[in-house]
Amino acid sequence: MRDTTTTDRVLRLVLTHQRRARTETHPGDPCARCLAAHVPRVGAFVELNRPVEFVLPAFPVKSPNPAKVLGRLPDMAEELAVRFLDELCTRIAEVYPPGAKVIICADGRVFGDLIGVPDPDVTAYQQRMRELLDAAPSGRLSLFTLDNAKRMPTHGMLRDWLDEDFGESAEDLRREVCDDPATTSLYRGLCRFLFEDRATPDYAGTRAALQRESRRRAYGVLSRSRAWGRVVQQRFPAAIRLSIHPQPCGDPKLGLLLGTGHDAWLTPWHAVAVETSDGYRLMKRAEAEALGARLVRRDGRPSHFTLEGA
């Protein structure tokens, strides 16, 4: 007989940090429909007395725009997110002793070529992320990357394999972007990120040209991200799928904030951590500097900012 009370407790802990679209209506807090959508999968783990398995495609690579981030490696922004996920696993273990585990399915290798980040930078980012996850106290966080999915001679061949074996037609994707509001919102968010990431002082083209390029590349990023999602589903078929993006009410994917903030789009790899009197906040580097925040270094590398009087 399924332990619905324990399942409910586990899900309520996760849904406390649900990433919601501003335009979405969610009945209740936590949302009753979202709760019901994930009961079967979480309940299946509880019934077997096994750790509840979550997968989270995220932590790709730092934005290439220096107005957003401090550098190419994970810093305090990622550390705070890892700390949050680790503490969430610990809280779940308090209501369900087998606990939970979160597999970060890092997708930087999946679309690094489309966002202008070279593979060596992706490798360096992933290596540091693995160190952070391995050091998490609960021991319940791990990393899965495209390099782990299949052995190929080059990273380019890996991406070709992903496109050929798990991709979808460009026509179908464009039609869905036009017809489905949730996909339209995601596509527009990707366009904005891609535009911002390339709108650096060394960009020589026009604003209109960059907008066109960003719209084109957004389709590629969306297609590759979905292909990666299919790989993750194949590798972890029973897991509950988390997302860094807001999801429709009752969707099989569950949007998750990576901390206590409420910005539905800002993520550690597009931002810096700023320490204030109320704790840490994420913001773009240029915004932190404009506010007069002071840069903090650790181990010789930029880590985060502190903002006095905030």
**pLDDT tens digits for range 130-159:** 999 999 999 999 999 999 999 999 999 999
Q: What tens digit of pLDDT does each residue of 212-223 get?
A: 999 999 999 999
Q: Is the dihedral of CA 37, 39, 42, 43 positive or negative?
A: negative
Residue 102's nearest CA partner among 216, 266, 241, 298 is 241
Name the H helices within 199-303. Answer: 207-235, 285-290
The helix/strand/coil state of 22 is coil
Residues 6+ positions from 80 with CB-CB distance below 8 Å: 259, 268, 273, 280
Give the whole-angstrom CA distance, residue 118 versus residue 290. 29
> What H or E segment, with its residue span, contains residue 255?
strand 254-255
What top-level class would CATH report for the domain 271-310? alpha beta
Per-residue pLDDT of the chain (310 residues; tens, 9 = 90+): 456 799 999 999 999 888 876 666 665 677 788 889 999 999 999 999 999 999 999 999 999 999 999 999 999 999 999 999 999 999 999 999 999 999 999 999 999 999 989 999 999 999 999 999 999 999 999 999 999 999 999 999 999 999 999 999 889 999 999 999 888 988 998 999 899 888 887 777 888 999 999 999 999 999 999 999 999 999 999 999 999 888 888 889 999 999 765 555 689 999 999 999 989 999 999 999 999 999 999 999 999 999 987 5
The rounded mean pLDDT for the chain is 91
- pLDDT at residue number 265: 66
Give Cα 288 to chain centroid, integer Å: 22
- pLDDT at residue number 68: 94
Q: Which part of the chain has CATH 3.30.60.140?
A: 271-310
Exposure letters 195-208 (e unless 16+ CB within 10 A, then b): bbbbeeeeeeeeee
Residue indicated by tokens 């550098």:
71
Q: In DSSP terms, which residues pair with 54 in a beta bridge?
A: 102, 240
Q: How many other CB atoms sit within 10 Å of the CB of residue 272?
A: 28
CA distances in angstroms from 118 to 51, 124, 231, listed in the order given: 36, 10, 22
Give the whole-angstrom CA distance, residue 246 versus residue 264. 7
Residue 38's nearest CA partner among 20, 25, 52, 24 is 52
> What H or E segment, with its residue span, contains residue 183?
helix 181-198
- pLDDT at residue number 22: 66
- pLDDT at residue number 1: 47
